[in-house]
Amino acid sequence: MKESILQASGLYHVYESKAEDGNVVALRGLHLDMKEGEAIAVVGPSGSGKSTLMKCLGGLMKASAGSVSLAGKNMTRLTGKELVKLRQKTVSFIFQEGNLLPNLNARDNVAQPLRHQGVSSRKSLKLADSMLDRLGILPRAYALPKMLSGGEQQRVAIARALITNPRLIFADEPTGALDPVTSREVLAMFKDLHQNEGVSFFIVTHSKEVASFANRSLELRDGRFVAEHGDDVDVEDLSKDRELIIDETGTVTLPPDLLVKLGGAGRYTVGDVSSGSLKLQGEAIESMGKMELASACPACKHDYADSEDQLCPSCGSSRPMVEV
Ligand SMILES: Nc1ncnc2c1ncn2[C@@H]1O[C@H](COP(=O)(O)OP(=O)(O)OP(=O)(O)O)[C@@H](O)[C@H]1O
Ligand SMILES: [Mg+2]
């Protein structure tokens, strides 16, 4: 059995706010065991907690509760300095946007993580140039970020993430700003690092192509993992190869489409429990009335009309159940 590169247990995160809408519980008790060399994709609607999870796992943000271990070290127990050091030599991040330092040109941005590790300026810049070349943007090496297109900026960010030879790369929608051709090239590069150099990937994505490169995909809804999928998952049709997750606290969260099929929230009797199987039988609680999928998106008011969509096509929020 391979060693774990990343482990989390009982991870909760609450964004506290004094504003009228109050606190937001973004993560609700997550467990994760990622093996060295594994590629995991996290899929789920907008606002489900994907970016929050990535930041907590990467040690960029302290979770409200729970623990995270990176390369066998419990990050919750490290001092600020130790944490920075562990992160520097183990992981790299690629965010949705805002990856680059605005006042440094492309090659200085790429060289900077090496400079931080004490590598000489000359050597860092030389390596930065070859990385920029690998990503096809060496001709833009002296441009400031604001002079680069979104896709070019993202490629510089990827070069910057790769230059330290990290064992684990956290990427939040890494190809979101790229055109299909560049996106495919970047994915091919990730695949190569994954297969031939044993680099682990934790990738947040909406894209079918990205998710299909992962060994498994985890489906996040409202701060909980609701299901797991094997490789080659179709993000448009998650129900096809879904395996439900019962977490270590015994909680199972049904994806909304399954809840609808079952008849909605309610009281169910349990029969025929045996190892590996469980039979639920019952009806939606009478007092709650019959449930059905909401006809309009609570976030953006999109009208679902007759569609069976689970996610809002205009804002990506999950579609809730409402009483009839
Ligand atoms: N800094 C913050 N303060 C308060 N609430 C926040 C903050 N950041 C995120 N949230 C809330 O936490 C929840 C999870 O947000 P998160 O950014 O993790 O979602 P996401 O799955 O990455 O969404 P997207 O696909 O749109 O990037 C959302 O309800 C969001 O509004
Ligand atoms: Mg996000």
Question: Which one is predicted more confidently, 309 or 131?
Answer: 131
Give the tokens for residue 161: 């993430």
Pairing state between β 39-43 and 200-204: parallel
Q: What is the DSSP letter of 2?
A: P
pLDDT of residue 213: 81
Q: What is the predicted pLDDT for the residue at 170?
A: 96
Q: What percent of the chain has pLDDT over 70?
A: 96
Q: What is the model's pLDDT at position 323?
A: 72
DSSP letter for 303, please. Answer: B
Ligand in nearest proximity to the CA of 53: 1
* pLDDT, greater one: 164 or 185: 164
Lowest mean pLDDT among 47-56, 143-152, 172-181: 172-181
- HSE on the CB side for 302, CA within 13 Å? 18
Spatial distance between the Cα atoms of 199 and 165, rounded to a whole number of angstroms:
9
223 contacts 42 by C-beta, under 8 angstroms: no
Per-residue pLDDT of 83-109, as tens digits, reads 888 898 899 999 877 789 999 999 999
Q: Which of 13, 16, 30, 51 to mutate to test the pocket of ligand 1 (most atoms within 8 A of CB)?
A: 51
Rounded Cα distance between 240 and 84, Å, is 41
CB-based contact 228:32 (threshold 8 Å):
no
Residue type, 171: A
Higher pLDDT, 8 or 177: 8
Q: In angstroms, rounded to a whole number, what is the distance separating the alpha carbons of residues 252 and 226?
A: 7
* Residue 48 binned pLDDT confidence (cut-offs 50, 70, 90): very high
The CB-based long-range contact list for 224-231 (8 Å cut-off, 24+ gap) reads 224/28, 224/29, 224/30, 224/251, 224/253, 225/30, 225/31, 225/253, 226/253, 226/254, 226/255, 227/255, 229/43
Ligand 1 in reach of 61 Cβ (< 6 A): no
Dig out the tokens for 252 from the structure.
Answer: 């199972």
Whole-number Å distance, alpha carbon 280 to ligand 2 midpoint, is 35
Full set of structural domains in the chain with CATH: 4-229 (3.40.50.300), 254-323 (no CATH)
Higher-scoring residue by pLDDT: 168, 97: 168
155: phi > 0 → left, psi -120 to 50 → alpha, else beta; which? Answer: alpha
pLDDT for res 55: 94
The whole-chain average pLDDT of the chain stands at 87
Whole-model pTM: value is 0.83
Residue-level pLDDT at 286: 54
Question: Does 49 contact ligand 1 (Cβ within 6 A)?
Answer: yes
Q: Residue 163: is its pLDDT beyond 90?
A: yes
In ligand 1, the atom with minimum distance to the C-alpha of 48 is 21
